[in-house]
Structure 1
Amino acid sequence: MKSRLTGLALSALALSASLASAQDYPAQPITLVNPYAAGGSADLIARTLAEGMTERLGQPVVVENRPGAATAIAATYVAQSDPDGYTLLIASSPTHFITPEIQPVQYEGLADFAPVAMIANVPNVLVVGSGAELSTLEELVAKAKESPDTLAFASVGNGSLPHLSSVLLMQETDTQMVHIPYGGAAPAVVDVLAGNVDLAFLNLPPLLPHIESGALVPLGVAAPERTPLLPDVATMAELGLGEFQMSTWFGVSAPANTPEDVVAKLDAAIADTLQDEELRQRLEASGVMMFYKPTDEFAGFLESESERLLKLLDAADVPRN
């Protein structure tokens, strides 16, 4: 009986300490780890979010860039950090599903994280070069059907969202095209502009200046709604391809077992930040669209998105680890 009472007392003390910790949170600066290099959309999102969260939480939220290994360096670091809410990850499809499937990593893509909130997405836009003499999706599909495996599409690597977007396009239109992977968006765009490849599904920001100049022709946006930066370009769904959504989304995740009260405080700070009109306008001007989902919805999204993207990896014949 004495042993049992001692155990209950220890459990009560642990619970009390946990509650006190959650009530006092945050008591020190928070690190928001970005798995991408400085200067891109993820970095803009992270720094804008950190600015708003700092104001709302009363502690500095510091962005730390840890690029490399297709996001695995940053994801591993956060997954192995203390689950106290002071080390967070800018989450994306590669951190949670794609990279753990196609290369060896030291973490579990879903099990080792606590979802906090989805924050934004960057539309992927289907483009062709102006010299391709294709001005609509219908014309592209007709040409692909007429001459299978002659049109080539660029991506930023095997298993990347631009790759899987084109795989989904081929599935939805019953066409076959040739995949040409590149080491990043910049060389892919260069070759579409030069006519060395016919098309690409890439993030909007690096495409926008070339679309505005007329060098690239946008055929469709793979997002839930049109982007304000291309108001005249229809979504893939509007073009008859059902719920064709392959945007590059970003969220915030914490290490698994982070206290629920801490996660709730973080979620509330993120939600309030994303209501800030000045911050929203700053992000939207760069091609980023707000796409907030609270903790529970974000967790459900991760489960369904994982299933969807793993099926596309199978269809793309991407080697698994």
Structure 2
Amino acid sequence: MHRTLRSLALASAMALASTAGAASSYPDRPITIVVPVAPGGTVDMLARILAKGLSEQFGQPIVVENKAGASGTIGTRHVAEAKPDGYTLLAIANTFASVPEFLPNAGYDALQDFAPITQTCSIPMVLVTPPDSPQTTVQHFIDTAKNRAGQLTMGSSGLGSTGYIAAELFGNQAHVEFLHVYYKGNSKALLDVMSGQLDAMFDQVSTSGPNVKAGKLRALAVTTLKRSPMLPDVPTLDQAGLTGFQDETFNGLLAPAGTPDDVIAKLHTAVSKVLNTPAVRERLAQQGIEAMPSSSPQAFGSYLATSVEKYADIAATAQKN
């Protein structure tokens, strides 16, 4: 009996030593960052910036693989089902947390199926209209929406998307309703706003900002509590009368649930180092994006939990209407 117990203890100790050794040698082969959306957007851009910086730190290739489709759920499920060893990671945005609240068949649990590593950035949204729209201020826009209840068209890339969430939060606080128009992506929606075929939409400052500066769009307000350096003359919704309004898009990095804590900690430190590089911060800032690594993986986990709760409330309200 005592010999059996000693043997079990020895086996347990050897297993722990093996795990520790694996964590300390991580990574010893290429890492894949899965981007669950098409190339070209902010999530994809951030993933490629991180891939370059992490490769330089780790001395290993970092591969960015786009697995788009089904509101991001295809790539997301792929990572959820991957081996939890730190070699398959997931780049995310808000939709990661919101989609399961709007689509019951999303196929993953945002809080149970993944291990948080860190937030990577924060991006203000901006309410944009056609450049010749008669709605020149937020209050004028709200008044028009009330007079034309459910008639002003509001574009987004679909139910639960960042633009849809911002519009719902806006509508709930301003007590107005819109006619939601869904697109396969924001690009076509923006073109329709520019041409006047769509009354408005909420879009990221990083993509709408250049068009606002070029006079192709009118910006009424940004969704963060502080103004965007990219559009310093555009007020916040809080300043425009919707007291306390705050909604920002975020990007982040996750691993499959069960990934060793030591590996998560190593990735958190390495990603933070990349994001705190002056050249990277400046490159992002020029596009209206603020590099924002979390203080710890646990802090990012708490942020995700709060986000999921917020989106669940929005989904419940939307289903009642």
**Are 2:280 and 1:283 aligned?**
no
Quote the offset at 1:168 in angstroms: 0.7
SS of corresponding position for 1:257: coil
Could you tell which deviates more after superposition, 183-192 or 254-263?
Answer: 183-192
Aligned partner of 2:207 in structure 1 is 206
Identity of aligned residues (%): 34
Task: Identify the residue that residue 162 of structure 1 maps to in structure 2.
Answer: 163
Structure 1's consecutive aligned runs of 4 or more residues displaced over 4 angstroms after TM superposition are none
1:235 maps to: 236
Give the superposition deviation at 1:99. 4.0
Alignment deviations for residues 20-68 of structure 1 (CA, whole Å, 9 cap, x no partner)? 1111111112111111211221111111111111222232222111111
Are 1:121 and 1:289, in contact at CA under 8 Å, matched by a contact in 2? Answer: yes
CA deviation map 1:64-114 (0-9, x unaligned): 111112111111111111111111110222224414640524432221100
Quote how far apart the aligned CAs of 1:129 are: 1.0
Q: Are the aligned partners of 1:274 and 1:280 in contact in 2 as well (CA < 8 Å)?
A: yes
Size of the aligned set, in residue pairs, is 319
Which residue of 1 is the match for residue 198 of structure 2?
197
Separation of aligned partners in 2, 1:54 and 1:114: 21
**Residue 319 of structure 2 corresponds to residue 317 of structure 1:** yes
**In the TM superposition, what is the alpha-carbon distance from 1:179 to its structure 2 partner?**
1.4
SS at match of 1:132: coil
Which runs of 5 or more structure 2 residues have no equivalent in the other structure? none
How much is the aligned-residue C-alpha RMSD, in angstroms? 1.9
1:217-266: CA deviations, max 9, x gaps?
11111134322211111222333334433322110000111111111110
Pair 130,318 (structure 1): closer, same or farther in 2 beyond 3 Å: farther
TM normalised by structure 1 equals: 0.93
2:271 partner amino acid: I
Asked if the contact 1:102/1:318 (under 8 Å) is kept, the reply is: no
Q: Which is further off, 21-30 or 187-196?
A: 187-196
Residue 7 in 1 paired to residue 8 in 2?
A: yes
* Alignment partner of 1:95 is 2:78: no
Is the Cα–Cα contact under 8 Å of residues 71 and 99 in structure 2 kept in the other structure? Answer: no
Matches of residues 21-100 of structure 1 in structure 2 within 5 Å? 21-99=22-100
Match of 2:124 in 1: 123
- Displacement of 1:190 in angstroms is 2.0
Partner of 2:307: 305
Tell me whether 1:179 sits opposite 2:180 in the alignment: yes
Q: Could you state the TM-score of these two structures normalised by the residue count of structure 2?
A: 0.93
Name structure 1 gaps, 5 residues minimum: none
